[in-house]
A and B are shown apart, each in its own frame.
Chain A
Amino acid sequence: MSPLRYILEKEFKQIFRNPAILKTIFILPVIQLIMLPMAADYEIKNINIAVVNNDHGTLSTDLVQQITASNYFKLVSYTNGFNTAMESLESDRADLILEIPNNFETSLFKEKEASLFLAVNAINGVKGSLGAAYLNNIIQNFNQSFRNKELVPGRFNEIPQIQISSSNWYNPKMNYRIFMVPGILVLLVTIVGMNLSSINIVREKEMGTIEQINVTPIQKFHFILGKLIPFWVIGLIVMSVGFIVAWLVYGIIPLGSYFTLYFFAAIYLLVILGIGLLISSYSENQQQAMLVTFFILMIFVLMGGLYTSIDSMPEWAKWFTKFNPISYFIEVMRMVVLKGSNIKDILPQVLAMLGYAVVINIWAVLSYHKRS
């Protein structure tokens, strides 16, 4: 019988005897999947707005009412002096200042145009720019309804306008959770897999058992396979737990097949675990291995396309993400879950991961020396 069987038996026993590992596998994913998508919501609400109204006409009050009636804005101050509003922006109580000039209503009727002033607190860039965009939208609507009411119908518009109406494909309601949950699931599988595998071989080094292994006639690739397979199984289990949570909590069921996702994950995990084993094999102790893993994971996660869009990265960074396995899986996950892509559609990603897996794992086997 192959020695591999004995190695696997030993590894599985050690893994399931360690209570910390069991928690990592089952409890952490559930907590993270429930917490993170709720928190990591790109839709911004509660934008604090300070309105300076120098006009006090019906039109301007109407506009302010429309702004506060939307769910996005919270009116923090309503004054007729710009300085008070500026103070609330400087003290970070307001994100936006909208100033309505004192001749707003008259000039709108008489001259058919009026200007508004908008000041944005751009310290939180996303909040500021999104707030300005929402506000613009509301003012556009306000403008449109004003035209419809006040301008004599039948006459041509003085200024022709182009109206854009958009429909969102694959995620019709632009639900951020549908967008985030599959991505977070990828991160989970990656983090659990790489962490567990990277501290494994080095643990045997610390315990001194690696020396005992090295004096046996064990074959190098058996040893590496014996380390790889258990974590591969665990990775797939974590992913399954994640799918169950995604379905129970968020009602997310992939449009494509689970088979496609598991097929890709099976190859993907070989890459992730291979990187982990490689780190482990080069490290002297567990701290070193954990530090390096943390560093690599952080770059992979931040440049993986979940929190930042790869399309808007500079060229060199785009080139770099070609070596980032996370970016492939996030892409595949979204394609399969949201678009219903099949194996044929994700073939380029599958081939890239296969190549990556072969290179990394051969490297891992070669980096493990039985003799120093």
Chain B
Amino acid sequence: MNKTAIIVENLSKQFGHFKAVDQISFEVAQGEIFGFLGANGAGKTTAMKMLCGLSMPTSGKANVARFDVYTENESIKKSIGYMSQKFSLYEDLTVKENIKFYAGIYGISPKQIIQKTELLLRQLSLEKEANVLVGQLPLGWKQKLAFSVAIFHDPQIVFLDEPTGGVDPITRREFWNLIYEAAEKGITVFVTTHYMDEAEYCNRVSIMVDGKIEALDTPSNLKSNFNAASMDEVFIQLARKAKRSE
């Protein structure tokens, strides 16, 4: 963990008078699972979108995979994977077709696509559903598939925006197994979540309140610093200070 995957310094995003993200700074090491927590409207998604090159920062500095977010955003896109809050595979395409399409855009060779698709379908035990339209799959399967598609091109970093929203506990556990597997392969995982048990799975956690990062440490350090029994309590202590509401 000596290389840094993400460096952020005083990054801000302002919409009119509204400071969605207010001068946040942090670093994420290569291979780390970094939890990005915060109440609804705290600015998590906006911050994440700036790092992915989907949103232009108002001020501050940020480097993702050693590329500058202002000038080299298209290079960043080659080295990252992204899974948005909204389910974003094509529901009117089959499992196989979705994989092929996204893999094709990233420039993976047709031969490799075929090989890796087979492997992936076996891993997810979706072999029978390979030619089923994605819209017909249950939500939990869709989410796992979306994650696998996001890391299909072996990115350095994967950004996950509330990937387990609305999913049952068993599927969530399976989903986190996938995340661990990815991290073992050296992929840095940057994940936002509302589930505090998931926060415990992260190497380090940051908690955002009203556009600012109020705490950043390992889950165990955070618990002892805030004198709390669980991450839940830590989060509630911090989030209660929030002045913004939805």
Contacts and interface: CB of A to CB of B under 8 A. Distances in A.
How many of chain B's residues touch chain A, expressed as a range? 20 to 34
B171 interface: no
Contacts of A153: none
A295 B84 CA distance: 35
A372 B100 CA distance: 27
Contacts of A207: 86, 88, 90-91
A98 B56 CA distance: 77
Contacts of A218: 105
A215 interface: yes
Contacts of A17: 92
Contact of B88 (A10, A211, A217, A372): A211
Nearest to B52: A215
Given A3-B107, A6-B104, A372-B56, A217 B78 contact: yes
A216 B102 contact: yes
B225 interface: no
Main secondary structure of the interface of A (DSSP, over half): helix
Given A14-B90, A215-B54, A6 B101 contact: yes
Contacts, number: 81
B70 to A, nearest CB: 10
Contacts of B88: 207-209, 211-212
A372 B54 contact: yes
Interface string A20-40: 000000000000000000000
Nearest to B107: A3
B87 A208 contact: yes
A204 to B, nearest CB: 9
Interface residues of A, number: 25
Given A209-B88, A215-B80, A371 B55 contact: yes
A140 interface: no
Interface of B: 52-56, 73-75, 77-78, 80-82, 84, 86-93, 97, 100-102, 104-107, 109-110
Given A6-B101, A211-B84, 11 more contacts: A1-B104, A6-B104, A207-B88, A212-B89, A212-B102, A215-B80, A215-B82, A216-B106, A217-B105, A217-B107, A371-B73
